Amino acid sequence: MPSLRFALNHMAAPALPIEDFFALAASLGIDAVEIRNDLTSNAILDGTAPEAVARAARYHGLTILSINALQRFNEWNAARAEEAQALISYAKACGAKALVLVPKNDGTGRADGERQEKLRQSLALLKPMLDAAGIIGLVEPLGFEICSLRSKAEAVEAIEAVEGRSTFKLVHDTFHHHLAGEAQLYPDLTGLAHISGVADPAVSVADMRDPHRVLVAADDRLDNAGQMRALIEAGYAGPFSFEPFAAEVHELKDPASALRASMDYLSAQV
């Protein structure tokens, strides 16, 4: 089994300014990061120029895997098109390779037929925008029961329908994969894997939410190690990006030690 390649999503340490976040990744021997457009007082929302982000990444020897994320991408309208173009332009200027595409997750747009049509429509309209900039669209199904795109199989069907294999890839998120209960892996179409664990023994799978998502350790209920092993054995050779949402992780005084422990645990298990 080849050694694991880890990446770091800014959600792992969202209070750190972008420079400090990049320094954290580099200190862990991590060479790839994801930046976000939903962190208040941080790049991208604070107006940091993409060229400044690109310079900082170069200084720390990092590849920016993605901007996370264009939300509600499968609800296409004029505002979404404008937001998509702004994020794609920022991604190109900062050197990011991809833009994560997150479906709407509010209980609407789930009707059979409607959700597939809207998904295809959005991908068809995003495709020329992404292609013009040389940016990959990373489609991330969410496992929540209220989500309008839970199934990787449905995402793959839509990507095929718009002849989008060169433009779009999937995100395999270990948390959402577990919640969705979808067994099939699509290693050839997987462009990125997100990892986080759930340790709370009391919460049911149906009630698991982002605040439950911690760094992966021996008490993980999602079988991150098994999912990662299966992906690698199926041919996935990309990075595994830490994306914990739990406040207890965000408040750590020494995130480097906690991340190192999780990296060591997973390296031993996988």
DSSP character string of 203-218: S-GGG--GGGEE---T
Burial 4-33 (b: 16+ CB within 10 A, else e): eebbbbbbbbbebebbebbbbbbebebbbb
- Mean pLDDT score of the chain: 97
* 1 band by pLDDT with thresholds 50, 70 and 90: low
For the chain, the C-alpha Rg in angstroms (whole number) is 17
Q: Are 63 and 25 in contact (CB under 8 A)?
A: no
* Ramachandran category for residue 29: left, alpha or beta (phi over 0 → left; psi -120 to 50 → alpha): left
- State the Cα–Cα distance between residues 222 and 137, nearest whole angstrom: 26
Burial 171-180 (b: 16+ CB within 10 A, else e): bbbbbbbbbb
- State the Cα–Cα distance between residues 29 and 118, nearest whole angstrom: 41
Give the predicted TM-score (pTM) of the model: 0.97
* 2 band by pLDDT with thresholds 50, 70 and 90: low
* 117 band by pLDDT with thresholds 50, 70 and 90: very high
- Average pLDDT, integer, range 18-29: 98
The hierarchical CATH code for the domain 64-269 is 3.20.20.150
Domain ranges across the chain: 64-269
Phi, psi of 101, rounded to the nearest 5 degrees: -115, 115
DSSP 3: P
pLDDT tens-digit series, residues 124-171: 999 999 999 999 999 999 999 999 999 999 999 999 999 999 999 999
Q: Are 159 and 139 in contact (CB under 8 A)?
A: yes
pLDDT for 73: 98
pLDDT for 201: 97
Name the H helices within 95-137: 114-133
pLDDT for 3: 77
- Average pLDDT, integer, range 106-111: 96
pLDDT above 70 as % of the chain: 99
